[in-house]
A and B are shown apart, each in its own frame.
Chain A
Amino acid sequence: MPDLAPITPLGNAHPITETYGPVTLSEVVDRALASVAARLDTGPDAMDNLAKYLGTPLPDVEQISGTTQQAFWIGPDQWMITADFATHETLATDLAQRTQGHFNVTEQTDAWCRFDLTGGQLADVFERLCPVNIRAKSNGTAVRTTIDHLGCSVLIFDQRHIAVMGPRSAAASLHHTLVTALRSVF
């Protein structure tokens, strides 16, 4: 264990949790992230092996799959893998070793900040944030979109639990945007 104390994307020792009307906004820092991209000649067997290792089928376009280790689609033959940080801090290294030669793996844990919104009327909030038609999306949908000029991924676990992943360096701006929308609605 390194003897360095991490900070959250918002620059604090601990993640924030705030409440606005029926919605709870939480800064999420306990997920490890790694991107995997199949190489040109990666075949179905290698895909299956990755799926078996993850314990979940590799999701299709706009989809999220998995529980312990989750995957969501980010491009053709490309996925973002997420897992509990405490047990998977070396997720990218582990994946690279498991998929050697078949997938390009890049650590993404600290490339992103993540805010989870839980509670009711989330669609009312998100219609002030991005062009994603939240009401029409089924559970387990991941959409890449823009929120106030920031390229973000919106993970719709269900209509009462939506995560926003944005650039870590702009976490404060993204948080401000989310809070502005929440205050605007509630």
Chain B
Amino acid sequence: MTNSNRLSGGQIDRTKPLNFQFDGKSFQGYQGDTLASALLANGVRLMGRSFKYHRPRGPMTAGSEEPNAIVELRTGAAQEPNTRATTAELFDGLVAKSQNRWPSLAFDAMAINDRLSNFLTAGFYYKTFMWPAAFWEKVYEPIIRKAAGLGTLSHDPDPDCYDKGFLHCDILVIGAGPAGLIAARTAARAGAQVILADEDFRMGGRLNAETFGIGDLGAPDWAAQQVAELASLPNVRLMTRTTVMGAYDHGIYGLVERITDHLPQSPAVKPRQILWRVYSKRAILAAGATERPIVFENNDRPGIMLAGSLRTYANRWAVTPAHQVAVFTNNDDGHRTAIDLITRGVTATVIDTRMDAKSLGDYETLAGGVVSDTAGRLGLTSVQVTLANGAQRSLSVGALGVSGGWNPNVHLTCHQRGRPAWDDRIHAFAPAGTLPAGMSVAGAANGVFGTHDALQSGHAAAIEAAASLGFAPQSIDIPDTRDAPVNLTPFWHVAGAKRAWVDQQNDVTAKDIKLAHQENFASVEHLKRYTTLGMATDQGKTSNIAGLAIMAEVAGKSIPEVGTTMFRPPYTPVALGALAGRSRDQDFRPTRKTPSHRWASEQGAVFVEVGLWLRAQYFPKPGETHWRQSVDREVLQTRKSVGICDVTTLGKIDVQGRDAAEFLNKIYANGFAKLPVGKTRYGLMLREDGIAMDDGTAARFADDHFVVTTTTANAVSVYRHMEFVRQCLCPDMDVHLISTTEAWAQYSVAGPNARKLLQKIVDPEFDISNDAFPYMACGDITVCGGLRARLFRISFSGELAYEIAVPTRYGDALIRRLLDAGQEFDAVVYGTEALGVMRIEKGHAAGNELNGTTTALNLGMGRMVSTKKDSIGATLSTRDGLNDPNALKLVGLRPVDRTKPVPAGSHIMTKGDPVDAAHDQGYVTSACYSPNLGHHIALAFVKSGDTRLGEVVRLVSPLTGVDHDVEIVSAHFIDPEGDRLRA
């Protein structure tokens, strides 16, 4: 049956046959075919099963509005479900599969649903699956989902790559039909930068489906001529296979361009699709119109399709679903389908609802007739016609074209909540109200259905748009066209029809709509949600209007009184991969690497993500089989001799200006105005509401120059906060901020031998002895023979410690040099785990304690909030609620049984009290095993903790089964007097 239904002509390349498979069977089509046209050419009308009732279905349309011919394309990881066969471009080797059927498309066991249709009406699920509640998610939903008509996923990662991009134009023309083509040409000739986008792989829109002439050319040839001229213009970008899927603010449109979907093999580095963000000054929507069906009994059999689509298959793809066809219409356009088919040797009969309808060619017209039923289990075999006189007549046909008129494609006009208005002239909703800024609508999308009128409309829209942008557009000649008016008399559905499908993708029937009204879901929005009308992936492009018409009839209203639901982006389904673009897997977000990254990698460091940074977590040595072994070694060696840690990730903000000190006084709760040059001070930053925001240090390098250090996690938010204060709260201050986090490689050198180690690399003219460079000193120095560097004597570990910074390009060399120089001290490099252990041992607060709920008082830093000056957050930190004498205080915890852990997240209960929220005494924020103390320790916030030192409390974590006693102790487990860091 190879190409048994192929006609002559068409816009396919018969010199390029393409082999493909559908449900395991091999077929042949031609270059230029879609999957649907190629299957129809091969006599295949049955392409899918319906969503709910598993009814046999074939293509209803020839475009992106298709509700029925939904298939799975490709195999393996590249398998894509729920794809429209009517838009899938055929390529050699394409493998397609029908979906939502078992065991086969021809025999589907789930078709039993169709027999149970009386029970499966609208609202069936809501009414039936109510009890017991525990079954909702675990039993009912999986069963219903399995039974419903969705395709299957491969469950493998998408093997394709996707991209995003940005385009700019003066005028974006959406749709390359007659109005779009002439609009683009007019605007381009005026000198505007034009983008013409069309979802089809061949520009021309409806013209490719017609046989009438434009000027001296046939419609497809005229379209090709226009495209050729546009392609020759440097200011025009033609984008085929590109769907304008959304209209957004400020003239921005979302476009999805399919780059490789039509290729047998896509190059590995080429994106499959690109999501373009188009910045347009003006846009002309020339998206055409979608034909609407008439609703009648059993109107969903394979072979029943829209009349215009039947004509498209015949004219563009030289295909007919059958050689005996009928057309059911309420307008003259249906007759045009019959004429074109007859011209190609197909036998056609027209059933026209209009009593005065006449044949416009050599075929029979049944004026005043309606299709009252159809027959054919897996494909249409006959239609039952009720004639004007009430008599019945059966027509043996394999295809039926249905035309109930045309609806302008208003979707993009609604993406900014514009509401279309009913147009009595065309009996359809047309664009109205507030359109997206800069948009105008032309051609059939604006309800202008004649081709000549559409050309004029597109031309006029382009003239107006170009002129509005300052161009001087010239009129161009509008060619004569020889199409005919539609002459429509509204007819929505055949009276009495029950099993008549309105929304074929979601299996919504006329009966469902009447039921919704009967159960008082009469609002159009309620109707939509109760019946799911228009909620499938086609957004009801072929069904909404019929649904509204039926609702209007049962409600005794007009269609405009019923109203219409809202169209939202995307216009057609968009692959999630296209929305993600390059941002997936390891490229989901950028990675920041520290200056010592290369060295750390060489050492086999285990890295941890800290925000965007990759930091070395610990450095395993041979023989160490558990991370704790590495961390314990790093901690012990640092406290015993010297350790080095890359702390480049801490935020570094350069603060300069005459008012720099005053500015820091403003943002820090403690005072900075009197900090001497060459000194560093610990600072606590509060939010406006008095809650602690971040801590860090500020080093004064000159009267008008500070370097502020923030925590790694808060580097961006602190900088943003400081800029806000500078620009908005203190614009009169002479102060300037700039981030230098990236500019300097900074290492902590900590431990009793830290000074001795540094003295080996710091140039001899700089004295860093304890007297010359005491605790909290800072200054510019040089190292390793003249390299400019900064030295800070600050300590996070509690040891004698420095932080040394050099220009980042030398960071790799510096850590290697420090280790070389440190060999005599058995210097060790430590990672973030050891860093964390040592700061907990020392009792230093970090992100776990600065958790957005804690105050200076909680942190034991209440006295740091100066009352002698105004600083951000100082006033609100005096609120009663933040100064409760029973407030949480930062303390240390150690287990009574030293073998027990003290896990973070555990809660503290007074011994003897019930374990419940009402008796909660606080919670553990940070915990670790202290290799120096030989047991676990923790930092915790405990109510009045500072007065409860020595008290044994109960540590509980019902989720993890923790329940044992711990003792409240000082948070400073190591060197509470600070002798080490001042040594």
Contacts and interface: CB of A to CB of B under 8 A. Distances in A.
Nearest to B807: A110
Interface string A173-186: 11011001101100
Given A5-B813, A6-B813, A170-B591, A133 B656 contact: no
B784 A3 contact: yes
A6 to B, nearest CB: 4
B419 to A, nearest CB: 31
Contact of A131 (B279, B583, B740, B808): B279
A48 interface: no
Nearest to B761: A4
Given A7-B812, A167-B592, A106 B740 contact: yes
B822 to A, nearest CB: 16
A18 interface: no
Contacts of A6: 807, 809-810, 813
B590 A11 contact: no
Interface in A99-157: 104-112, 127-133, 135-136, 148-150
A136 B783 CA distance: 48
A172 interface: yes
Interface stretch (A33-41, A50-58, A61-69): A33-41
B591 A172 contact: yes
Contact of B593 (A11, A41, A127): A11
B743 A107 contact: yes
Contacts of B277: 131
Nearest to A112: B742
A39 B658 contact: yes
Interface in A157-175: 167-174
B168 A110 contact: no
B330 to A, nearest CB: 47
A1 interface: yes
B529 to A, nearest CB: 37
A2 interface: yes
Interface in B789-808: 806-808
B742 A169 contact: yes
A169 B784 contact: no
Contacts, number: 147
A170 B582 contact: no
Contacts of B648: 169
Interface in A1-25: 1-9, 11
A29 interface: yes
Interface stretch (B9-17, B158-166, B682-690, B850-858): B158-166
Contact of B270 (A93, A148, A184): A184
B654 interface: yes
B279 A133 contact: yes
Nearest to B733: A40
Nearest to B274: A128
Interface string B775-797: 00000001111111000000000
Contacts of B168: 133, 135-136
Interface string B272-283: 001001010000
A106 B587 CA distance: 32
Given A4-B784, A104-B657, A104-B736, A111 B167 contact: no
Interface residues of A, number: 54
Interface string A76-113: 00100000000000100100000000001111111110
Contacts of B270: 183-184
A173 B809 contact: no
B508 interface: no
Contact of B736 (A29, A37, A110, A148): A37
B813 A148 contact: no
B271 A184 contact: yes
A9 B810 CA distance: 11
Nearest to A11: B598
Contacts of A11: 593, 597-598, 812
Contacts of B739: 111
A97 to B, nearest CB: 13
B590 A127 contact: no
Interface in B650-671: 654, 656-658
B742 A168 contact: yes
B480 interface: no
B810 A4 contact: yes
B166 A131 contact: yes
A5 B787 CA distance: 11
A169 B743 CA distance: 9
B155 interface: no
Interface string B246-271: 00000000000000000000000111
A149 to B, nearest CB: 5
Nearest to B707: A106
Given A108-B740, A127-B165, A131-B277, A148 B812 contact: no
Contacts of B744: 110
A104 B735 CA distance: 9
B271 A2 contact: no
Contacts of A41: 734
Nearest to B654: A106
B812 A128 contact: no
Contacts of A149: 583, 589-590
Contact of B165 (A9, A128, A136): A128
A127 to B, nearest CB: 5
Contacts of B813: 4-7
Interface string B717-745: 00000000000000010101011111111
A2 B654 contact: no
Contact of B814 (A4, A9, A40): A4
Nearest to B590: A173
A28 B787 CA distance: 21
Contacts of A171: 593
A109 B593 contact: no
B819 to A, nearest CB: 13
Contact of A7 (B583, B598, B612, B732): B598
Contacts of A150: 590
A3 B820 CA distance: 14
Contact of B809 (A8, A104, A148, A176): A8
A29 B656 contact: no
Given A1-B785, A148-B582, A104 B656 contact: yes
B817 interface: yes
Given A3-B784, A4-B787, A7-B813, A184 B163 contact: yes
Contact of B743 (A105, A109, A135, A148): A109
In the A-B complex, the 9 residue pairs with the smallest Cβ-Cβ separation, listed nearest first, are A2-B787, A104-B656, A110-B808, A173-B590, A6-B809, A4-B813, A111-B743, A169-B592, A183-B269
Interface of B: 161, 163-168, 269-271, 274, 277, 279, 582-583, 587, 589-594, 597-598, 612-613, 648, 654, 656-658, 732, 734, 736, 738-745, 782-788, 806-810, 812-814, 817
16 contacts: A1-B786, A2-B782, A41-B734, A78-B736, A106-B740, A107-B743, A111-B742, A133-B279, A148-B582, A149-B589, A169-B613, A170-B590, A180-B163, A180-B269, A183-B269, A183-B270
Given A6-B810, A132-B166, 10 more contacts: A2-B782, A2-B786, A29-B809, A111-B743, A128-B166, A148-B583, A169-B593, A173-B590, A174-B590, A180-B161
